[in-house]
Amino acid sequence: MQRYALELDKTSALGGVMEEFTPHVVNAKYIKDYVVEITFNDGQKKIVDLEAYTKRKGVFSVLKSKAYFKNFFVDLNTICWPNGADVAPERLYELVSVVDKCVPALNAPKTNDSFFQQEEA
């Protein structure tokens, strides 16, 4: 499990106290298509485009249906679907960028991630 450093005290004589941080999803809201706004336990709200997961096989294959995709819920500190599919919260934390309050969430860039490149079977 990947952990992230969370700076707690910028006034420390050592240049700041760092504590390990494991991201957990505390809230998720559907935006459009395969885009979700995610709130993490450090208070950050981030936007993630999960369209790449719809191209995967197995439990993710049903996510191609936008109607099914919208059935996600927060459980086990991440987003999950009724068929048992989920995305690790650490992965979600890596995929997203902080929501800029000046830019509408609908304009968030799509993820171009080689992790999802699969060979045709």
Domains of the chain, first to last: 25-99 (3.30.2020.10)
**The residue to which tokens 């080689």 are assigned:** 114
Instruction: Kindly calculate the radius of gyration of the chain based on its CA atoms and give it in whole angstroms.
Output: 16
Region 26-38: what's the mean pLDDT? 96
Q: What is the distance between the alpha carbons of residues 46 and 37, in angstroms, rounded to a whole number?
A: 6
Residue 16: per-residue pLDDT? 55
CA 109 to CA 48: how far, in whole Å?
9
Q: What is the pTM of this model?
A: 0.66
Residue 21's pLDDT band (cuts 50, 70, 90):
confident
Tokens 């079977």 belong to: 121
